[in-house]
Amino acid sequence: MSALLEARQITKSFPGVRALAGVNLRVGPGEVHALLGENGAGKSTLLKILSGAQAADAGEIRLNGTPLAGSHSPLERQQAGIVTIYQEFNLLPEMSVAENMYIGREPVRHGWVDWSRLYGQARSILSALGLQIEPRAAVRTLTVGEQQMVEIARAMTFEAKLIIMDEPTAALSVREVDTLQRIVRELRARGIGIIYVTHRLNEVSALCDRFTVLRDGKWVAEGDVRDHSPGDLVRLMVGRNVDLLRHRRHRAPSDEALRVEGVSWQPKTRTRAASLKDICMTVRSGEILGLAGLMGAGRTDFARILFGAEHCSAGTLWLQQDRVEMPRSPAEAIHQGITLLPEHRKRDGCFLEQSIRQNMTLPSLKKLTRWKWFVSDRREAHFVERYRRSLGIAMASDLTPIGHLSGGNQQKVLLARCLALAPKVLILDEPTRGVDIGAKAEVHELIRQTADSGVAVVVISSELLELLAISDRIGVFREGRLVAEVDGETATEPEVMSLMAVGTAA
Amino acid sequence: MEASATRMLQRYGTGWVLLLLAIVFTSQNSRFLSWRNLGYILTDVSICGIVAVGMTFVIISAGVDLAVGSVLGFAAMGAAWLIELSGLHLHPAWLFGLCTAAGLGAAAGFIHGKVTTALQVPPFITTLGGLSAWRGATLLINHGGPIHDFDAGYRWWGNGSVLGIPVPVLIFVIVASVGWVVQRYTRYGRHIYAVGGNVEAARLSGLNVKGLTSSVYVIVGTLAGLAGFLLSARLGSAEATAGTGYELRVIASVVIGGASLSGGTGGVGGTVMGALLIGVLSNGLVMMGVNSYYQEIVIGAIIVLAVALDSFAKRRA
């Protein structure tokens, strides 16, 4: 079978990092090709190069045998027949389904949009895919799954030859996943090639024909899905039997700091948030509990509930064995001794235009006042200096905007903000995202020190190695449930990976 | 470093323009720099400036209040009407007027704040409604007519002076100083910057975002009431149209002073400069005999220019 898409020796470097080194990918017509790898393996970079969002440093991409120009524009690639559906949809919520499908390419007559043709064409594409979606409906009224279908229908308007799907089922309900799989098979039957990125290995077995595995930016393996069990795939993805540098705890954890039982929660809007089902969990003082799970498994929502950022009525909370109300606001949670370092540093953490000092001291100003009401410059400067030293924050002056710092230093400033509140329970959501490797190790050390000082620490991370390196215990989330708990000192990467992806140990 | 340098340049930029204007106007008309005229400019600036100090808080919190002119008129008229209703037996009348005007302004601001936070109406819309509604209420009170039987004690607040400084100027200085201290040195001031800078981060830092947001409208409302009292004292009458169009001049002062309508930046110091700039400009143009229609055009151009400069500086930084 001749290849529909053939990418050869794709190489891409970013400052300081080689993201891809000589990667090959071959997809035939009518083939569903799984692209597998851990976080950071290079999948996203490869997708961006194929979709034209980024240019490769070296390598060649051929579509039906003709080389694609090195120029990189997503529009040109779409017109050539390569359409990408990203995790974050590119739909305009206020506009109709049909308008979204044809945006920028609306059929016109005498310079006016030809509405009847627009809706007619959209309707015929939707019904050809067997979808019951009204083309006049506003996109915001659709469920996440339906929005995904609209993205696919939009791809069809380009007469796509190759559709790239980046974790298409991450946020879908079980029934929506069935519909998606039906449509993927339908597309396959029409001879369209599909690159399917997922972490859910049971989907790979059910849906995909062939697979390619990337690891650390390198091509590792290609093969027929039929010949490989999910366990084989996990081994290929993880690959190494490296002894992890594990931080050991220096003392035995003491009493229970936080216990929750029966937390169930439904997101208010039809966003990508997962719903949570009956979660029970305990953390002890001095312990680091890692939370593993795929995107959309519900870890972040769970953390936000504990912190009062989302309201949840179903569930019971004990803090140091006292039964307390679930916090109804972050202010209440902080008062109870729970603090959260949010997942999106820039969006939810930083005041980018304000100084490092203002960012660090904001919730602690009460402790830094003079004559009751007035913030003392001197005490504030001392405060910042103390944390600058103990956390090793590199900065010229604490009066420069926090936006001027590197990611690692920004994160340390926010960590200082959390630590200054003297929490009993500290929840860290992706504490090292966007932090370079050197600073990562420092942040890990700080987390360990914090736990050793008697704080109960909960760490959420998408990087398994990180969780294995620092956690005393790891809780695994899957589809809104806490499905397993493993010992952080003995757990292995394939074991946890398999729990995340399939729900059982490999 | 670069950002703070451009910011300094920008802050003093307003000062330089002010100085330049003063030199130009003085060279054109020697009376510009007379005590009498300076007193006139400052008194004129003060009444708008007092409201602008409150507006600075609102704009830093990423809000806006379009209703200040109407609230000003409403508070002044309401206070005057209540005094008249009481049969002028209240002594001293000015104390009653001052408290009532400020109280009515605070109440109006409280309503704006509550509607904005509890009903989740954008402040632009809430106060656009207020702009119309409070003006209507003002006209209703005395069927559109003025009220003007203030005693000398009342009028002193608009026309008297202490050690040669007009009373409204003195009050402006006090209000601006208090505003500056609150912004610079109190937790409340910091919290307002935080809410305007990143509302989600502020909430996750444990701030009471709704309470803080409401509070700035109470502040600006109270100060609009105070300004209304001073204006009616100065004119010797509460006019139903008093304060019409003030919202534009007040917002312009804050924005020329370096605040961004997207919140998180700005300060009372800049606002005072902005208010002075507008005051000097309109007075100077009158002294030069420029057609008053041109003044409006010039002031409009200055506002746009100031914001263009601001976003240019931000892109550089």
A400/A438 same-domain check: no
Please indicate, yes or no, if residue A433 is contained in any of the structural domains.
yes
A327/A444 same-domain check: yes
Looking at A238, A273, A300, the residue that finishes a domain is A238
Whole-angstrom distance, CA of residue A348 vs CA of residue A22: 37
Dig out the tokens for B206 from the structure: 């444990």
User: DSSP state, A210?
Assistant: E
Question: Would you state the pLDDT for residue A297?
Answer: 83
Considering only CA atoms, which of A29, A22, A20 is closest in space to residue A54?
A20
Whole-angstrom distance, CA of residue B248 vs CA of residue B275: 12
Whole-angstrom distance, CA of residue A17 vs CA of residue A434: 13
Q: Which residues numbered 251-280 in B keep a CB inside 8 Å of some CB on A?
A: 264-265
Return the CATH number at A506. 3.40.50.300
Whole-angstrom distance, CA of residue A287 vs CA of residue A452: 8
Q: Which helix (H) or strand (E) holds A36?
A: strand A32-36
Asked if B207 reaches chain A (Cβ–Cβ under 8 Å), the answer is: yes
Amino acid in the structure at residue A403:
G
A405/A437 same-domain check: no
Q: Phi and psi at residue A340, in whole multiples of 5°? A: -125, 135
Optimal mutation site among A350, A355, A362, interface B, most CBs of chain B within 10 A: A362
**Which regions of chain A are under pLDDT 70?**
1, 16-17, 70-72, 171, 174, 240-253, 269-274, 436-438, 506
User: DSSP state, A396?
Assistant: S
Whole-angstrom distance, CA of residue A225 vs CA of residue A388: 52
Please indicate, yes or no, if residue A82 is contained in any of the structural domains.
yes
Does the beta-carbon distance from A351 to B193 stay under 8 Å?
Answer: yes
Please indicate, yes or no, if residue A155 is contained in any of the structural domains.
yes
Q: What is the ipTM of this complex?
A: 0.84
Confirm if A118 and A102 have CB atoms less than 8 A apart.
yes
Q: Which helix (H) or strand (E) holds B116?
A: helix B93-118
Q: What would the pLDDT profile of A394-410 be if each residue is shown by its tens digit?
A: 888 889 899 888 778 89
Chain B CB contacts of A369 under 8 Å are 187
Which residue reads 């929506």 in tokens? A176
Please indicate, yes or no, if residue A345 is contained in any of the structural domains.
no
- How many CB pairs lie under 8 A apart between chains A and B? 77
Where would I find the H helices in A81-200? 97-101, 115-128, 144-157, 174-189
Asked if B187 reaches chain A (Cβ–Cβ under 8 Å), the answer is: yes
Does the beta-carbon distance from A330 to B203 stay under 8 Å?
Answer: yes
b/e map of A98-107 (b: 16 or more CB within 10 Å)?
Answer: bbbbbeeebe
Does the beta-carbon distance from A330 to B200 stay under 8 Å?
Answer: no
Does the beta-carbon distance from B203 to A309 stay under 8 Å?
Answer: yes
A163/A283 same-domain check: no
User: DSSP state, A138?
Assistant: B
Count of residues making up chain B:
317
User: DSSP state, A349?
Assistant: I
Please indicate, yes or no, if residue A346 is contained in any of the structural domains.
no
Question: Would you state the pLDDT for residue A269?
Answer: 63
Confirm if B234 and B109 have CB atoms less than 8 A apart.
no
Amino acid in the structure at residue B209:
V
Sequence-distant (6+) residues with CB within 8 A of A247 are A444, A445, A448, A469, A470
DSSP secondary structure string, A397-449?
-TTSBGGGS-HHHHHHHHHHHHHTT--SEEEEESTTTT--HHHHHHHHHHHHH
Considering only CA atoms, which of A395, A366, A401 is closest in space to residue A380?
A366
Confirm if A93 and A144 have CB atoms less than 8 A apart.
no
Looking at A421, A440, A457, the residue that finishes a domain is A421
User: DSSP state, A108?
Assistant: E
A37/A97 same-domain check: yes
Does the beta-carbon distance from A374 to B193 stay under 8 Å?
Answer: no
Q: What would the pLDDT profile of A295-327 be if each residue is shown by its tens digit?
A: 778 899 999 999 999 988 888 999 998 999 899
Nearest to B201 among A333, A349, A400 (CB): A349
Question: Would you state the pLDDT for residue B174?
Answer: 97
Optimal mutation site among A310, A354, A395, interface B, most CBs of chain B within 10 A: A354
Chain B CB contacts of A354 under 8 Å are 193-194, 197, 264
Confirm if A382 and A439 have CB atoms less than 8 A apart.
no
Chain B CB contacts of A365 under 8 Å are 187, 190
Minimal Cα distance from A374: which residue of B?
B186
Q: What would the pLDDT profile of B12-51 be if each residue is shown by its tens digit?
A: 667 778 888 888 888 888 888 888 888 889 998 999 999 9
Considering only CA atoms, which of A317, A390, A387, A324 is closest in space to residue A359?
A387
Considering only CA atoms, which of B202, B83, B205 is closest in space to residue B142?
B83
Asked if B85 reaches chain A (Cβ–Cβ under 8 Å), the answer is: no
Beta strands in A271-416 (DSSP E): 276-284, 288-292, 314-319, 322-324, 338-341, 369-370, 374-375
3-state helix, strand, coil in chain A (%, to 5): 35, 25, 40
Domains of chain B in sequence order: 2-316 (1.10.3470)
A219/A365 same-domain check: no
Q: Quote the distance between the C-alpha of residue B287 and its chain's center.
A: 24
Dig out the tokens for B12 from the structure: 């003093």
Whole-angstrom distance, CA of residue B131 vs CA of residue B136: 9
Any idea of the CA torsion for A115, A118, A123, A128, to the nearest 10 degrees?
Answer: 160
Confirm if B275 and B48 have CB atoms less than 8 A apart.
yes
Coil, helix or strand at residue A277: strand
The shortest C-alpha distance from B73 to chain A (Å) reads 34
Considering only CA atoms, which of A434, A449, A352 is closest in space to residue A401?
A352
Minimal Cα distance from A398: which residue of B?
B1
Question: Would you state the pLDDT for residue A244?
Answer: 47
Amino acid in the structure at residue A100:
N
Confirm if A195 and A35 have CB atoms less than 8 A apart.
yes
Q: How far is CA B220 from CA B102, B173, B270, in A?
A: 10, 16, 17
Q: Phi and psi at residue A203, in whole multiples of 5°? A: -70, -35
DSSP secondary structure string, chain B?
-HHHHHHHHHHHHHHHHHHHHHHHHHHH-GGGGSHHHHHHHHHHHHHHHHHHHHHHHHHHTT---TTHHHHHHHHHHHHHHHHHHTTT--SSHHHHHHHHHHHHHHHHHHHHHHHHHHS---HHHHHHHHHHHHHHHHHHHTTT--B----HHHHHHHH-EETTEEHHHHHHHHHHHHHHHHHHHBHHHHHHHHHHH-HHHHHHTT--HHHHHHHHHHHHHHHHHHHHHHHHHHHTSB-TTTTTTHHHHHHHHHHHTT--TTSS---HHHHHHHHHHHHHHHHHHHHTT--HHHHHHHHHHHHHHHHHHHHHHHHH-
Does the beta-carbon distance from B194 to A331 stay under 8 Å?
Answer: no
Nearest to A351 among B1, B197, B206 (CB): B197
Whole-angstrom distance, CA of residue B182 vs CA of residue B171: 16
Domain count, chain A: 3
Confirm if B110 and B49 have CB atoms less than 8 A apart.
no
A67/A147 same-domain check: yes
Please indicate, yes or no, if residue A224 is contained in any of the structural domains.
yes
Considering only CA atoms, which of B200, B278, B276 is closest in space to residue B245?
B278
Q: Which helix (H) or strand (E) holds A58?
A: strand A58-63
Minimal Cα distance from A396: which residue of B?
B1
Dig out the tokens for A275 from the structure: 């719903």
A142/A258 same-domain check: no
A23/A152 same-domain check: yes
Confirm if A361 and A380 have CB atoms less than 8 A apart.
yes
Range of the domain at A90: 5-238
Instruction: Tell me what percent of the residues of chain B surpass a pLDDT of 70.
Output: 93
Residue B301 predicted with pLDDT over 50: yes
Coil, helix or strand at residue A288: strand
Asked if B197 reaches chain A (Cβ–Cβ under 8 Å), the answer is: yes
Please indicate, yes or no, if residue A10 is contained in any of the structural domains.
yes
Any idea of the CA torsion for A388, A392, A394, A398, to the nearest 10 degrees?
Answer: -10
The shortest C-alpha distance from B60 to chain A (Å) reads 12
Sign of the alpha-carbon torsion through A440, A444, A447, A453: negative
Q: What would the pLDDT profile of B131-187 be if each residue is shown by its tens digit?
A: 999 999 999 998 989 998 888 888 999 999 999 899 999 999 999 999 999 999 999
Asked if B27 reaches chain A (Cβ–Cβ under 8 Å), the answer is: no
HSE at residue A36, side-chain half, CA atoms within 13 A, is 33
Looking at A421, A452, A481, the residue that finishes a domain is A421
Q: What would the pLDDT profile of B76-115 be if each residue is shown by its tens digit?
A: 999 999 988 877 666 788 999 999 999 999 999 999 999 9
A69/A158 same-domain check: yes
Whole-angstrom distance, CA of residue A261 vs CA of residue B283: 70
Question: Would you state the pLDDT for residue B8?
Answer: 58
Q: Quote the distance between the C-alpha of residue A215 and its chain's center.
A: 18
A48/A147 same-domain check: yes
Whole-angstrom distance, CA of residue A284 vs CA of residue A45: 39
Whole-angstrom distance, CA of residue A239 vs CA of residue A284: 33
Sign of the alpha-carbon torsion through B173, B179, B181, B183: negative
- pLDDT band at residue B55 using 50, 70 and 90 as cut-offs: very high
A389/A270 same-domain check: no
The shortest C-alpha distance from B123 to chain A (Å) reads 22
Nearest to B205 among A335, A353, A363 (CB): A363
Whole-angstrom distance, CA of residue A7 vs CA of residue A5: 7
Please indicate, yes or no, if residue A135 is contained in any of the structural domains.
yes
